């Protein structure tokens, strides 16, 4: 009976220790991204300031790795050479719990940003991965719909003209 009690206590202790360390690691790397600025960004046109707010770090640095969206088979972008490539590998300084950098996002999609937080001494505090979603330029979507509509109208018009001509030839 005491053997099972000891094993149960040890398992409970290990589970609690793992749970507490994972919670502490998440709290050390608590980062907020300013989504309001990025919601209106148009790819390859706007250069927004990406603002990062660090809750528990007042001064230090963050190593940033930004990767472009992965290629998709059914919806490729305007610039396929950029898809799935690393774009930024840099370090920014954190002052008063904030860091920012300017970047022109080249294509639409979901960017993956990995942040390694370091304190003043260079010791790693934590790591967090963020997702940045950049939407398609609304004018490009509108122009694409208009272009496809005009192509459809042109195709229907050509089909009607050629079928009228064919009907006249068959009538003779």
Average pLDDT along the chain: 80
Predicted confidence (pLDDT) per residue in 30-82, tens digit? 777 777 778 888 887 888 888 888 887 888 899 999 999 888 777 677 777 88
**Between 159 and 56, residue with greater pLDDT:** 159
Topology at the third CATH level for domain 29-136: Immunoglobulin-like (2.60.40)
Q: Quote the pTM value.
A: 0.66
Place of tokens 């930024």: 88
**Between 19 and 144, residue with greater pLDDT:** 144
Q: Got the DSSP string for 51-110?
A: EEEESS-SEEEEEEEEEPPPP-SSS--S-TTTTT-EEEEEEEEEETTEEEEE----SSEE
Domain ranges, ordered by start, for the chain: 29-136, 138-172
- CA-to-CA distance for 99 and 92, rounded, in angstroms? 7
Q: At residue 5, does pLDDT exceed 60?
A: no
* Residue 88 CA, distance from chain mean position: 13
Q: Which two tokens stand for residue 75?
A: 């919806």
């Amino acid at each position: 009976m005491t053997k099972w009690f000891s094993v149960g206590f040890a398992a409970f202790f290990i589970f609690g220790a793992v749970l507490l360390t994972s919670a502490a690691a998440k709290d050390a790397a608590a980062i907020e991204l300013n989504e309001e600025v990025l919601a209106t960004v148009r790819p390859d046109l706007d250069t927004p300031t990406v603002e990062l707010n660090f809750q528990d770090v007042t001064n230090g640095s963050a190593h940033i790795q930004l990767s472009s969206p992965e290629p998709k088979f059914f919806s490729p972008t305007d610039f396929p050479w950029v898809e799935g490539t690393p774009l930024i590998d840099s370090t920014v300084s954190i002052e008063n719990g904030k860091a920012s950098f300017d970047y022109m996002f080249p294509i639409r999609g979901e960017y993956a940003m990995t942040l390694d937080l370091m304190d003043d001494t260079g010791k790693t505090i934590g790591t967090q991965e963020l997702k940045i979603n950049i939407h398609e330029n609304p004018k490009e979507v509108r122009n694409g719909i208009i272009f496809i509509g005009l192509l459809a109208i042109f195709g229907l018009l050509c089909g009607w003209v050629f079928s009228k001509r064919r009907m006249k030839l068959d009538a003779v």
